[in-house]
Amino acid sequence: MAYRNLAKTALRTLGPTAPSKRQLSSQASQLEAKRSDSLPSMSSFHPLTDVTSNKYLYSYESEVKESFDQIVPVLKRVSELQHEQNFVDHAQQLTMAELGFALPTHVLEKAWVRPLDMRGLFSWSVFQAYKKSSDNFFACDPLKGGEQSIEARDFESLLQDCGFHLLDVTPCADGRLAHSIAYVLRIPFSAVRRRSHAGALFDVEQTVNRWVKTEHHRYRQGGGNNAHSPTSYLKIVTYHFSSVDPSHQGCAAHGSDDSVAASAGLQRLYDFREAIENSFCCGASVDLLLIGIDTDTDAIRVHVPGADSSMSLDSWVSALEIYEETQFMEKEEALKKISQRVQECAPSKPETGMVAFITHLVANNISQIDYVRQFHAGLYSDAGHAERFIGVGIGFKEVHLRNLTYFSHLDTVEEGAPDLDVGVKIFKGLNVSRDLPIPVVIRFDYSGRVPGAKERAIADCRRVDAAIAMRYRELVADGLLHTFLTIRDRDQKAPAEAIGSSLDPSLQEAH
Amino acid sequence: MAYRNLAKTALRTLGPTAPSKRQLSSQASQLEAKRSDSLPSMSSFHPLTDVTSNKYLYSYESEVKESFDQIVPVLKRVSELQHEQNFVDHAQQLTMAELGFALPTHVLEKAWVRPLDMRGLFSWSVFQAYKKSSDNFFACDPLKGGEQSIEARDFESLLQDCGFHLLDVTPCADGRLAHSIAYVLRIPFSAVRRRSHAGALFDVEQTVNRWVKTEHHRYRQGGGNNAHSPTSYLKIVTYHFSSVDPSHQGCAAHGSDDSVAASAGLQRLYDFREAIENSFCCGASVDLLLIGIDTDTDAIRVHVPGADSSMSLDSWVSALEIYEETQFMEKEEALKKISQRVQECAPSKPETGMVAFITHLVANNISQIDYVRQFHAGLYSDAGHAERFIGVGIGFKEVHLRNLTYFSHLDTVEEGAPDLDVGVKIFKGLNVSRDLPIPVVIRFDYSGRVPGAKERAIADCRRVDAAIAMRYRELVADGLLHTFLTIRDRDQKAPAEAIGSSLDPSLQEAH
């Protein structure tokens, strides 16, 4: 996460809802120059690039982000109307037409007596935009990664062929990694367990519990595959760095030092494996993989493990180099070259399945490299943070867009406060500095098959909401932090359900 | 838990450290009258009573409680010395001789300049008494319930013969239930999973996780027994009531209404079973048992389940009635009678194994009924709360004495606040009302086999300590709440390790 130097880079990272052209600093002009160097002609896609997927992925990305980014211009027009006759009706017509939802009448109706609560309306609109995109995600599977999709089934079978029965990925909580699964690695979201953490430093004990659940599922009901198949649980950590501005836009949790980020990730992976090996008998172990992501180009580098799971921090296979090396080859030839490069990078002879799996990931990532070249001029213009909201709690299976959400996966604010504080700090730079509030979506998924679980998820939302209101009481008192409470039955395909908000009329009156 | 009417019953529940004779209210005199009615002559033990065990159990109970109860009289003498010459040396000699530990010099040394911090010395002494008893527990296994004991191995084998591979008991957090396992039910502590909760309302999701871990252990390494043996996970809820003062000294979480307590416990049990049955395939299920405990006599009543696990709230087998019915029989005859009574009480034909297990528990409880008759005049004199400290966190495997500890099993204060608030309320009545502080022992057990787990347990202690200091800041500021931080490696037999305290010199200076 890069929250440092927010002030310095404010011009480049205009924030989540900046609607118009970005004003470029001199630093940004250099970036622009770099970008055009690396820009390919539109016809020069890599032979392995999936042009069709890139199209629908871009259409989804631009559509969802547009729904957030048009909020400020529309609200500016609403603000201009506030002293007109029939203001409430006009405002509602305008937002319905432009944003597709109505604004809260109890807020609009106060316009005659005091200035319109634009912070409240902004938060409300962000929550509605989130809700619409979340509903659409569960209804239409726009990323074609749902459980029933051909893509998910194909991937599951590839995973097993490579020797793995579960894929568990920890990216950084940073919003610039939120698209790691569906875009950067092109993995169907339903075929992977994702749990983001600041600095990608996942919780060892929780991951051991997840491993136990996975193994139990295989023993009891052949989940993943039969427990006696010689496959492994594969744990991946993805750290990140910035090729354009390495010392400022890397991972803040590791001081923007990519070697520190990589080595901390690797240590956590080794700790996890040691925990499994020490705690369980009969040769229990897991497979590990460390991947670096360049947040400017989305190109990955993979620290290929030897068969003994040892990895080197200093050697990796670079998707960008492979892209260049193979861009004029035939598909088959390119894939062979990738596989060869992967094998060369391992500190000792790697497992065949692992080589095949990494080859697949690198090939997938080539599509993403072309995606960034085609649709983002080779380098993202938002090199820094530009998240639209903070997502707090357990869930958010539907969030897969870069810089849409800063994740704070937590059960309690008491435990998750360090991650959440970082998110709030980022949003002070992005929003509060512009007099806009921090929109926080709270989410607790539950299992509808467990009696009382829904009621407990609701209680969890309210508990975390109260803890946030306590921890950030000054922001809340100033209307600079709003919350939206949602739950979701993870056993169903239904969308998330909204159960409350700091903008509810009763709460607003109590202020 | 009975925290209501604390004021009214203050005379009966003189608090944790009341050293001298208890002053009796008129209500207490009635109790005294009742008690002598039920008092048997010393020679009339029930044939099933284990007189030898009762002796060492009483010796352990009185020794440990004595070590807490002599704190106030010794500190009174220290207080009298505070303006004498050589006070520090005198005080240390006295406490070493009487209590077996020294007082913190940095507190004593201030006596010349300001009144001695008796609240600090009291908390320190409670923490030392706790630490001594905890060390002794892990070193000497005074209750003969350790993993290697014959008692534990015999019980494990009985449990399996009865058809169960894991016993998981949830008593109320109330200190009057803290001896449920080792005394009331006479189960070796290492052969059972105990997790106390206010109102015995255990966490369904956490218990499902425990079930998964247990089943995984059986599949992987034949833990408990082989996964294909037709045995079950047995979940027990023990609710409580007071036969002497039913409407005030029952379970406060259920308004001192024993039928509400029983029905809430039963519902939670059914919810747990439904969660297992709905979430897992292949006929996954669990066995359930509901037990009521009379906190005045320690006599149990068991709601015998039919083979379909259905239980009736209105019918139970009463250990006290059985005691009377069988007291003049031979052992074998008495056991047969118990078994017969158990079978008669089931709403439908019960499983043979369940009948044998309940028969065993009832027979065990007969020893405890005689224990209370012999050593506590048939009815405990501390009918209400008289805990010595609050235990917060995860662990406390060594606490098995009635009214020693109010448990607040929690990972975070944010989630556990309702239980903890009840504990603090109880101690306001017991201690703060007498100008004495609330001693809080924080504990996090960890697995030494997991890298970094010890450091995380230490961090957990400090996090919970900070959250307590925030939640009860007025008490802390007045020196009316002190904390003692401990961790323990659950993979070892070593005692708990103290890692800090609010009485540490550095923290004291910062005040």
Instruction: Give me the residue from B220, B278, B452 closest to A215, CB to CB.
Output: B220
Q: What interface predicted TM-score (ipTM) does this complex get?
A: 0.86
DSSP B369-395: HHHHHHHSTTS-S--S---SEEEEEE-
Is A278's CB within 8 Å of B449's CB? yes
Residue B66: count of CB within 10 angstroms of its CB: 11
Is A452's CB within 8 Å of B204's CB? yes
Residues A448-465 have a mean pLDDT of: 97
pLDDT 10s digits, B214-253:
999 998 877 667 777 889 999 999 999 999 999 999 998 8
**Sheet strands side by side (includes B438-446):** B405-409, B389-394, B438-446, B481-489, B497-501
pLDDT 10s digits, A265-280:
999 999 999 999 999 9
pLDDT score recorded for residue A83: 86
A438 and A322 both lie in a single domain: no
A320 and A423 both lie in a single domain: no
Judge whether B465 and B453 are in contact, CB under 8 Å.
Answer: no
pLDDT score recorded for residue B223: 64
B123 and B155 both lie in a single domain: no
Indicate the range of A385-399, B23-37, B243-257, B361-375 predicted with least confidence.
Answer: B23-37
Q: Domain containing A315 — which CATH number?
A: 3.40.1050
pLDDT 10s digits, B304-313:
999 888 899 9
Residues A409-431 have a mean pLDDT of: 95
Residues B435-450 have a mean pLDDT of: 97
Residue A210: CB partners within 8 Å, gap ≥ 6? A168, A193
Provide φ and ψ at A409, rounded to 5°: -70, 115
Nearest to A121 by CA among A390, A482, A485, A430: A482
- Give the strand pairing for A193-194 and A232-241: unpaired
Judge whether A172 and A251 are in contact, CB under 8 Å.
Answer: yes
Judge whether B451 and A275 are in contact, CB under 8 Å.
Answer: yes
CA atoms within 13 A on the CB side of B279: 25
* Look-up of token digits 């979480």: B253
Is A279's CB within 8 Å of B411's CB? no
Judge whether A347 and A312 are in contact, CB under 8 Å.
Answer: yes
Distance from CA of B266 to the nearest CA of A (A): 13
B133 and B251 both lie in a single domain: no
pLDDT score recorded for residue A1: 45
Q: Is residue A70 part of a domain?
A: no
The answer on pLDDT for B134 being more than 70 is yes
DSSP letter for B186, please. Answer: -
B262 and B296 both lie in a single domain: yes
pLDDT 10s digits, A178-223:
999 999 999 999 999 999 998 999 999 999 999 999 999 998 877 6
Structure tokens at A428: 């002070």
Residue B465 CA to residue B392 CA, distance in Å, equals: 10
DSSP A354-400: HHHHHHHHHHHHHHHHHHHHHHSTTS-S--S---SEEEEEE--TT--
pLDDT score recorded for residue B434: 96
Q: Is the dihedral of CA A279, A285, A289, A290 positive or negative?
A: positive
A470 and A347 both lie in a single domain: no
Instruction: Give me the residue from B274, B414, B449 closest to A412, CB to CB.
Output: B414
- What ranges make up the beta strands (E) of B28-162? none
The last residue of one of the domains, among B327, B353, B375, is B375
B326: enclosing H helix or E strand: helix B319-326
Q: Is residue A422 part of a domain?
A: yes
Question: If contacts are CB pairs under 8 Å, which of residues 442-471 in chain A contact chain B?
Answer: 447, 449-453, 456, 463, 467
Paired strand residues for A444: A394, A487
Work out the burial of residue B174: count CB atoms within 10 Å of its CB; fewer than 13 is exposed, 13-18 middle, 19 or more buried.
Answer: buried
B467 and B417 both lie in a single domain: yes
Residues A360-371 have a mean pLDDT of: 98
Q: Is residue B319 part of a domain?
A: yes
Paired strand residues for A495: none
Q: What is the domain count for chain A?
A: 2
Residue B476 CA to residue B508 CA, distance in Å, equals: 12
Q: How confident is the model at residue A43 (pLDDT cuts 50, 70, 90)?
A: low
A485: enclosing H helix or E strand: strand A481-489
Residue B318 CA to residue B338 CA, distance in Å, equals: 10
Is B220's CB within 8 Å of A220's CB? no
- Distance from chain centroid for Cα B59: 18
Residue B7 CA to residue B428 CA, distance in Å, equals: 10
The last residue of one of the domains, among A305, A340, A375, is A375
Residue B445: CB partners within 8 Å, gap ≥ 6? B394, B395, B397, B457, B487, B488, B489, B490
Judge whether B349 and B306 are in contact, CB under 8 Å.
Answer: yes
Q: Is residue A38 part of a domain?
A: no
Question: Length of chain A, please?
Answer: 511
B114 and B155 both lie in a single domain: no
DSSP letter for A33, please. Answer: H
A367 and A398 both lie in a single domain: no
Nearest to B124 by CA among B391, B437, B406, B428: B437
Paired strand residues for A407: A391
Q: How confident is the model at residue A507 (pLDDT cuts 50, 70, 90)?
A: low
pLDDT 10s digits, B443-494:
999 999 999 999 999 999 999 999 999 999 999 999 999 999 999 999 998 8
Distance from CA of B479 to the nearest CA of A (A): 24
Judge whether A320 and A296 are in contact, CB under 8 Å.
Answer: no
Q: Is the dihedral of CA B331, B333, B334, B336 positive or negative?
A: positive
Residue B46 CA to residue B508 CA, distance in Å, equals: 54
The answer on pLDDT for B165 being more than 60 is yes
Please tell me chain A's helix, strand, coil percentages from 3-state DSSP, rounded to the nearest 5: 50, 15, 35
Which of A203, A209, A214, A220 to substitute to test the interface with B, most B CBs within 10 Å? A220
pLDDT 10s digits, A126-163:
999 999 999 999 999 999 999 999 999 999 999 999 99
- Distance from chain centroid for Cα B101: 25
A429 and A504 both lie in a single domain: yes
pLDDT score recorded for residue B227: 72
pLDDT score recorded for residue B507: 62
Coil, helix or strand at residue B441: strand
Residue B165: CB partners within 8 Å, gap ≥ 6? B159, B214, B218, B224, B225, B229, B231, B232, B233
Residue B326 CA to residue B391 CA, distance in Å, equals: 39
A231 and A271 both lie in a single domain: yes
Provide φ and ψ at A82, rounded to 5°: -60, -20
pLDDT score recorded for residue B43: 56
Quote the radius of gyration of chain A (alpha carbons, Å): 23
Range of the domain at B293: 150-375
pLDDT score recorded for residue B112: 84
Q: Is residue B471 part of a domain?
A: yes
The last residue of one of the domains, among A327, A357, A375, is A375
Q: Is residue B55 part of a domain?
A: no
pLDDT score recorded for residue B509: 52
Residue A159 CA to residue A165 CA, distance in Å, equals: 7
User: Which of A7-16, A349-358, B277-286 has the highest average model confidence (pLDDT)?
Assistant: A349-358
Q: How far is CA B234 from CA A165, A379, B277, in A?
A: 31, 59, 14
Residue A27 CA to residue A46 CA, distance in Å, equals: 30
Question: If contacts are CB pairs under 8 Å, which of residues 187-246 in chain A contact chain B?
Answer: 204-205, 208-209, 212-213, 215-216, 219-221, 227
Q: How confident is the model at residue B505 (pLDDT cuts 50, 70, 90)?
A: confident
pLDDT score recorded for residue B21: 34
Structure tokens at A377: 């001029």
Q: Domain containing A395 — which CATH number?
A: 3.30.1330.140
In chain A, % of residues over pLDDT 70? 90
Residues A369-386 have a mean pLDDT of: 94
Q: Is B283 on the interface with A (CB under 8 A)?
A: no
Coil, helix or strand at residue A401: coil
Q: Is residue B14 part of a domain?
A: no
A337 and A405 both lie in a single domain: no
Torsion, CA A145, CA A148, CA A149, CA A155, rounded to 10: 70
Q: Is residue B4 part of a domain?
A: no
Work out the burial of residue A7: count CB atoms within 10 Å of its CB; fewer than 13 is exposed, 13-18 middle, 19 or more buried.
Answer: exposed
Coil, helix or strand at residue A183: helix
Is A451's CB within 8 Å of B216's CB? no
pLDDT 10s digits, A389-412:
999 999 999 999 999 999 999 999
Instruction: Give me the residue from A204, A208, A213 closest to B212, CB to CB.
Output: A213
